[in-house]
Amino acid sequence: MKVLTKNIRDNREPMTRVDYEKAGGWEAFKKAIQEFTPVEVAGLVKEAGLRGRGGAGFPTGVKWSFMPRFEERPEERPAHVYLVVNADEMEPGTFKDRLLMEGDPHQLIESMAIAAYAIGADIAYVFIRGEYIQCQRNLQRAIDEAVEAGYLGTDILGTGFNLTMHLHMSAGRYICGEESALLSALEGRRAVPRHKPPFPAASGLFGQPTTVNNVETICNVPHIINNGAEWYKGLGLHKDGGTKIFGASGHVARPGLVELPLGTKLADVLEHFGGIRHGHRLKALLPGGGSTPLLTDEHLNTPMDYEGVGAVGSRLGTATMVVMDETTPIVGVLRNLEHFYAQESCGWCTPCRDGLPWVERILTNLEAGEGQPGDIELLDLHVKLLGPGKTFCAHAPGAMGPLESGLKYFRDELAALIPDDQAAPGLTQPANAVQNS
């Protein structure tokens, strides 16, 4: 089933505007601004039940509804209202948005134009990962072609709707996945999360009302406009509507991406990637990027949607799986992940700044055969101290997801790495833990 990827060619050569229009492109935008009010467009997306594809899964239409409306009081309208699309895609193992931007850039530009109309934005930004050079080229070409055709600019198609669109190349930090940190970076400041409230809908980019959406999320919008909310809800296999771009890397036979209905069982998703390579057995996988709790072979019948994955203690996240076979030492997986999150901490709050390097050091010592009695219990303690509600944003709690699940499913394997001749148990701090922070 192809909805988001139907225009993507095998060689990933993007369509020109003319080709995209021949395939039905830009018709949803025309329909939206000529037949619907902004509130009606936002209402249709809300009715369809579209949820964020960037990791959090928050309902998109609900998010749009937080934006202030100025149709009946234009004198109160601020200088600008902003739409920002997060194309930074820094989640480990995730590369789905790259496919959409490289292979069908006009779909994203049209989607942003519709979304901007729905929330009343007059300026839109694509905040894009600096390494995505080809994505940048393709998107800029699509923006230029859209301006030339009159889909962007002033008084678009004679409707009075104005929209300017820009690309912003990110300097690159994982923390920019947190929307307020992204906005700080877009303003040219240090990428750290902001206090909430105020939320971006009230005071976002440059202090103006702002909505931030993910690339894949917003690319669903033209299809909802063209086909309706009921059609969209019918694409999913359970409660969640629509399709999802699933990805797999690691120990699968054919790493890559595939678009499938939300709710497809995990075992069936893996089959689309040829199963576990070389006839090995699945040991564990990260179902939606590096910050999602591990699943194991006991979860193969899990429906891959928000509720299904949540019910077994993990998160759908970006739905781009990192797969490990039974030959993989779990301590190396966890150490590598915690190294990444320790390195990418913005340093704004103490538990994250100091706790993550401490966790990394414990795992490094375990991997090297230098673990101490009490290390497993100390990892348990960090899971609690760096969990939800204990840090300024969700960076550290996300990092604890794979660690907590690793301790749950592979505790004996980790404990076996502690030499038998070590000292008596105790919650001891590993050497150089604080210095390493």
Instruction: Say whether domain 247-325 belongs to CATH 3.10.20.600.
Output: yes
Q: pLDDT for 198-249, tens place per residue?
A: 999 999 999 999 999 999 999 999 999 999 999 999 999 998 999 999 999 9
Counting Cα atoms < 13 Å in the Cβ hemisphere of 407 gives: 16
Taking residue 85's Cβ as centre, other Cβ atoms within 10 Å add up to: 28
State residue 436's pLDDT score.
43
Q: Which CATH number applies to 17-234?
A: 3.40.50.11540
**pLDDT for res 423:** 45
Domain positions in the chain are 17-234, 247-325, 330-436
Dihedral angle computed from the Cα positions of residues 337, 338, 343 and 349, in that order, rounded to the nearest 10 degrees: 130
Angle at 97 between CA 269 and CA 50, to 5 degrees: 75
**CATH number of 330-436, picked from 2.60.120.650, 1.20.1440.230, 2.60.40.10, 3.30.450.20:** 1.20.1440.230
Side-chain-facing half-sphere of 139: CA atoms under 13 Å? 29
At residue 421, the pLDDT reads: 66
Residues of the chain with pLDDT under 50: 423-428, 430-437
Bond into 198 cis (ω within 30): yes
Give pLDDT tens digits for 81-123: 999 999 999 999 999 999 999 999 999 999 999 999 999 999 9
In whole angstroms, give the CA distance from residue 61 to residue 403: 33
Q: Is residue 177 helix, strand or coil?
A: helix
